[in-house]
A and B are shown apart, each in its own frame.
Chain A
């Protein structure tokens, strides 16, 4: 069956993570995503340090994950000829996605009005750190600064720490997913209006919606969030506990008093089950150090998988804190084929995480691994703009496009 986005063409000017995640979500479901990189300015996500050494720019694991299912072309938008070719591609496209700071597209002479003049049905999604307007519009950001500025970092941490980061560049992904929603919302709207539109997505604004509860608590009570590590007020014990294997942990959430009694049975601690001071949430909260010590003493004797399974058999929420090796061996993730094995030139066959959502009748398809640099320049220009051999040769000669990236290193 056809993909959900068959017939949708996306010109992808994005780099690093947020924008490429957005276009990955579209490409997985059948959109024709054409990723554009300049001959002398590659996507930094290819591996910032030492990118040009030994074809490293073709081998970056993070880049390969994010750019599957896309076609890749090389085109210099700063040249008049490259810009004109881009606008001819816009005429053949549905969506343009970019994640520059707002001044950059204007600098290319590729503001929305110019794109709309080339194609009145075009939709532009701009995914900037702080938005296209306002005093911070030209500030730069990526995952960690947006996590910090949006307010998301403040509540994370231990009682004796300051704010801590989540530990992965997830806010890029959050913003990218919101951008994908914006594209789909705009496509839906276009069915009724017949008109393109421009989307202004401020990454911090998107992230701040996740902070709604804390924002409202500040308004009602003037309170700032308390950093609680892995503890939560409505469940004790609730945390991450050591297992018999160093560096492997068990996550356990005992959500009510009945579960507490069952956990005591699982752990063989009838003494604790019989202790009236621990029978209620209030009692366990008052004795939280003793409760957590008991859980740790039990979990330290077991493998995380076994401890989790024992809890689950008693209906208690528990899971091993899976590491990559555990994720790649997880029978649940493999049960329905979450990982996808893609065989890519230069790096070979590897499993990659699958789609961000499952559609049962029009599922994600994985037709191609991430493109080699400029792999589809000729194909795209022939197919969409009718170029022939001579015209292509001229482009390469004039440096509008390139078969290999020109020296560059982000370090």
Chain B
């Protein structure tokens, strides 16, 4: 039987991305990686975060020379029209999905604009990203990454002697972008049944809280008001001889394996450490932490990682970005998307988060200059395909 030609998963989907933030841009990037035609709307008064943040060559800010832009907007097309132009309306009229994170207006008033678009284009899916939703007492509140984290419960507790800590990467907003992409595809799926598009919302406060699956249920069912883990046994990062080492003990097998790995198998037989419940006692956990820290200090991270994993103990390296780039696992799987950028030279970009056995994702083409595709779309007559 003849093999079917690889088909991209979303090769028949057109997306208009009217966003400037991480979540919306990453949402569009995921859809582009699945083969969708993503057209980014970049009016001059609303510059995208990746164009603003860089990094730039020689650290000279230039929205056309941001390396992050080369990743986040790879494979998208770009127009520089405003969202109040006739050509924007035509663009949206041809699209399956519109992603907006404030380009079309601010909550609560923007809801009217969405409703009008949905009325004019009944098959359109509008994915609206907002800090607090489109209605309600905080809908008009100002926000930033930090306050989104606070409102979504991420800063509810702190490591001993510290204030609550925000992540060093905008991981929560990226993940909200994944949620938004899930929402877009759910709505396209629903459209098969209903024949109609709809409004999809990713509200950062709700999305961020959804990412913390434990705290609310632990509070409701166990009375724990403020939860954080990862600063000491059973889950902690320790300094080691050449960097840092993560030691995470979830199961009894992990514990007995760790005792073996540390060269102190007798610890596994110590009745004070026999069960997870006993080891969770704060004094016991502190003692174990000290033992693990003293052992880790003498170890080399990659060596322990390999030896530990061979024994099924999930110890882990804690690589800096440069070390991630040279990790043998990513290379062996052909993860990286290596490009040569005309302005920036060779760049190694992350690949798609997952792969289909028979194809379906793409390594997207270059990221566009702002307005690079203006001519294609401004020439567009109302019903013409681009």
Q: Count residues of chain A with CB under 8 A from any CB of chain B.
A: 157
What does the 1/0 interface line of A176-206 toward B look like (CB < 8 Å)? 0111111011111101110101111110111
Q: Are B356's CB and A197's CB within 8 A?
A: yes
The reply to whether A144 and B167 contact each other, CB–CB distance below 8 Å, is no
Contact residues in A for B149 (Cβ distance below 8 Å): 251
B10 within 8 A of A: yes
Q: Take A5-B186, A358-B203, A361-B198 as given contacts and tell me if A215 and B237 are in contact as well, using a CB distance cutoff of 8 Å.
A: no
Contact of A210 with B209 in the complex, beta carbons under 8 Å: no
Chain A nearest CB: distance from B2 CB in Å?
12
Cross-interface CB contact of A158 among B162, B251, B277, B321, cutoff 8 Å? B162
A–B Cβ pairs within 8 angstroms, 18 of them: A44-B251, A142-B250, A168-B211, A181-B181, A181-B354, A185-B34, A187-B185, A188-B10, A191-B192, A199-B356, A205-B350, A215-B324, A253-B145, A322-B156, A332-B132, A332-B139, A338-B209, A356-B207
- How far in angstroms is the closest Cβ of chain A from B86? 27
Q: How far is the CA of A187 from the CA of B226 in the complex (A)?
A: 39
Pick the residue among B70, B141, B224 that contacts A216 (CB under 8 A).
B70
Chain A residues whose CB sits within 8 angstroms of the CB of B169 once the complex forms = 152, 155-156, 210-211, 213-214
**Cβ of B314: which chain A residues have Cβ within 8 Å of it?**
139-142, 145
CA distance A321 to B158 in the complex (A): 11
Nearest CB of chain B from residue A178's CB, rounded to whole Å: 5
B357 with A198: CB separation less than 8 A: yes
Taking residues whose C-beta sits less than 8 angstroms from the other chain, chain B's interface range is: 35 or more
Query: Does chain A have a CB within 8 A of B333?
Result: yes
The winner among A145, A149, A229 for most chain B CB atoms within 10 A is A145
Stretch from B75-83, B213-221, B368-376 at the A interface: B213-221
Report how far A205 CA is from B56 CA in the complex, Å: 25
Q: Tell which of A72-80, A346-354, A383-391, A394-402 binds the partner.
A: A346-354
Residue among A29, A44, A152 making CB contact with B250, cutoff 8 Å: A44
How long is the Cα–Cα vector from A173 to B193 in the complex, in angstroms?
Answer: 29
Chain B residues with Cβ under 8 A from A131's Cβ?
A: 329, 333
B235 touches A144 (CB 8 A): yes
Tell me, yes or no, whether A135 is within 8 Å of chain B by CB: yes
Chain A residues whose CB sits within 8 angstroms of the CB of B271 once the complex forms: none
Asked if B12 is at the interface (CB within 8 A of a chain A CB), the reply is yes
Contact partners of B135 in chain A: CB under 8 A? 335-336
Q: Kindly state the separation between the CA atoms of A211 and B202 in the bound complex, as whole angstroms.
A: 22
In contact, B209 and A327 (Cβ under 8 angstroms)? yes
Contact indicator A358/B200 (Cβ below 8 Å): yes
How far apart are the CA atoms of A268 and B144 in the complex, in Å? 23
Best-buried of A215, A222, A228 by chain B (most CB within 10 Å): A215
Q: Which residues of B contact A59 (CB under 8 A)?
A: 221
Q: B132, B182, B219: which has the most chain A beta carbons within 10 Å?
A: B182
In the complex, whether B351 has a CB less than 8 A from a CB of chain A is: yes
Residue among A5, A228, A356, A409 with the highest chain B CB neighbour number at 10 A: A356
Chain B contacts for A211, CB-based, 8 A: 169, 321, 324, 350
Name the B residues within 8 Å of A300 (CB-CB): none
- Is B39 an interface residue when CB atoms closer than 8 A count as contact? no
**Could you tell me which residues of chain B, from 120 to 169, have a CB within 8 Å of some CB in chain A?**
132-133, 135-139, 141-159, 162-169
A324 contacts B355, CB within 8 Å?
A: no
Contact among A229, A322, A356 for B151, CB-based, below 8 A? A322
Query: Given A4-B187, A184-B185, 8 more contacts at CB 8 Å?
Result: A138-B309, A216-B347, A224-B320, A247-B226, A353-B213, A356-B179, A357-B180, A358-B200
